[in-house]
Amino acid sequence: MLTYSSIKIFACNSNRPLAESIAKKLGLPMGQAEVSHFADGETSLRIDESVRSADVYIIQSTSPPHVNDYLMELLIMTDAMRRASAGRITAVIPYFGYARQDRKARSRDPISAKLVANLITTAGVNRVLTMDLHCAQLQGFFDIPLDHLVGVPLLASYFRSRISDLSNFVAVSPDLGSVTRARSFAERLNIPIAIVDKRRQRANVSEVMNIIGEVRGKNIILVDDMIDTAGSITNAADAIKNMGALDVYACCTHALLSHPAAERIQKSAINELVVLNTTNIPAESRIDKIKIISVEDFFADSIDRIHKGGTVSELFK
């Protein structure tokens, strides 16, 4: 079994509050490194401590508002760690960007998710720790070990603790792509599931919503992996409300909340949106309707288990 001189936690600029919380949970200081930019916009990096033979964890989401800059920061810090003789480099990527471009939907489309996976591996990452990839099959894009955490246990636990009687609740998938996630969520709360089937009659014509399952007279929890501009989730919430649903809640792992997401959520039928802090949500998007749950314990436990050679899957229970 490999042994390392020490465990070290470093962070780039995408979500330093989460990185600092994870380090604190592990009882470790943050690694001494400075990530900045030259006047022309190029990424500049300096590591101010030895990492020789260390088990290094770089915490960095490739999330808005600077997706490409954050990806370059991760790649450059990884290269610096490799050249400084780090024993093992694990990229902790709470939110993995470019995951939506995972196949050729049309002729001459890029498969950007595979390209990014190749870049991360080539830079020198030995292992990846991430959460709720947009498509679980993306794990196969990496030729290195990848630990895939899921956010459903945390989200389900929140609703279980907040709502004493779930007998009149239904978990709803806002589209066909999130059915597996919504079913897992429903099973944890022992509630039924429904599905929003979105179909566009023709180009430039509004989507027609059909609901598979019973929502009339029910309280609803919409379950998704990410919310970007919030168009799909708010349209689904409004459609379900118009079909006779009572209170409508929503939850997701990754709150990207690009403009005009916050405004749409505020005006929608959603009573409360529960999200995880895999991304650093800006202050202007932290409206009253949004409840943020921290993933610091989940990631800290995962890092501890990886460092000690333990199993990560036990955390899902």
Q: Which of 184, 218, 179 is nearest to 196 (CA)?
A: 179
198 catalytically annotated: yes
Whether the link from the prior residue into 174 is cis, omega within 30° of 0, is: no
How many residues are given for the chain? Answer: 317
Across the beta sheet with 88-93, the strand order is 7-11, 55-59, 88-93, 127-131, 146-149
Q: Cα angle vertex 276, ends 182, 61, to 5°?
A: 110
CA distances in angstroms from 201 to 212, 238, 266, listed in the order given: 18, 20, 28
Give residues with Cβ within 8 angstroms of 165, minimum separation 6. Answer: none
Environment class of 286 (CB within 10 Å of its CB; exposed 0-12, middle 13-18, buried 19+):
middle
* Whole-number Å distance between alpha carbons of 95 and 25: 20
State both tokens at 67.
């997706």
User: Active-site residue among 24, 198, 241, 291?
Assistant: 198
8 A C-beta contact, residue 186 and residue 179: no
Burial 7-30 (b: 16+ CB within 10 A, else e): bbbbbbbbbeebbbbbbebbebeb
Q: Where are the alpha helices (DSSP H) in 190-295?
A: 231-242, 261-267
Catalogue the active-site residues. Answer: 198
